[in-house]
Amino acid sequence: MRWILITLFWGSSAIADPIAVHSTARDIFERLPDIEMTQDMRDVCGSGRSTNPHIGYCTTENVIYFSPNFTTRPSAGYEMAHVLGHAVQVRHGVADIAFRAIQSRPQEEAALRGMVTRQVECIAGVLTARAGVPSRDLLSLFSSEPFIDAHWGRRPLNAGPKVSIGLDARAESYQIGFEAADFSACSVGEISADLIVQAAR
């Protein structure tokens, strides 16, 4: 598997946090994506030019791609946990429920996507805690809100959703997950965490 090869090749402390998060997530959940380094994020998943330049989750291929300099980023552990949060939702039914709600109530799309994003950040916090990786204060780690570009979805990746909920909201949801270290803390509004709790081993 690609993720095992990467673990062996990148067995340095530089990638320790994202690898620990990824390994932990795969221990907890079935069918989560492999990870693969790419020289150019524009070359993967039919992405084009508007995707996140550092990391992206292609649901069509069920692969998380990351750039060569991704592991040098202080935020790499958090960023891996974030895209894995999307993968948990996709692979275990939450994304389908949210998509059906958005289709039936398009006037509420922004609010529903906001709930989905808050849950992703909460899942990221739980995964970080379970991996034994120190919590990161997102307010200190970022000067502006991360992940407002296309960074997950089907081919082409650059057509994926773009959502902004504010850095404060992301930091709050991430910390809720980290402190609880339990996916049951990650229900947000009508986006329940029940399917995630049931899927967790």
DSSP 66: E
* DSSP of 8-38: HHT-SGGGHHHHHHHHHHHHHSTTPPEEEE-
Instruction: Kindly state the tokens that stand for 94.
Output: 């939450």
Angle of the 94-104 helix axis to the 76-91 helix axis, nearest 10: 70
Buried b (16+ CB within 10 A) or exposed e, 10-49: eeeeebbbbbbbbebbbebbeebbbbbbbeebbebbebee
Answer yes or no: are the C-beta atoms of 151 and 56 closer than 8 Å: yes
pTM of the prediction?
0.92
Q: What is the gyration radius of the CA atoms in the chain, in angstroms? A: 15
Instruction: Kindly state the tokens that stand for 20.
Output: 């620990």
Has residue 11 got a pLDDT over 60?
no
Structurally, how many domains does the chain consist of? 1
Q: Specify the pLDDT at position 136.
A: 85
Alpha helices in the chain (DSSP H): 2-9, 16-28, 76-91, 94-104, 109-130, 138-141, 167-180, 194-199
pLDDT single digits (tens) 23-54: 999 999 999 999 999 999 989 999 877 789 99
Nearest of 32, 46, 64 to residue 196 by alpha carbon: 32
Has residue 6 got a pLDDT over 60?
no
Neighbours of 9 (CB within 10 A): 10
Residue 45: alpha-carbon gap to chain centroid: 16
Which structural domain, as residue segments, surrounds residue 156?
Answer: 2-199
Q: How confident is the model at residue 8 (pLDDT cuts 50, 70, 90)?
A: very low
Mean pLDDT, rounded, of the chain: 91
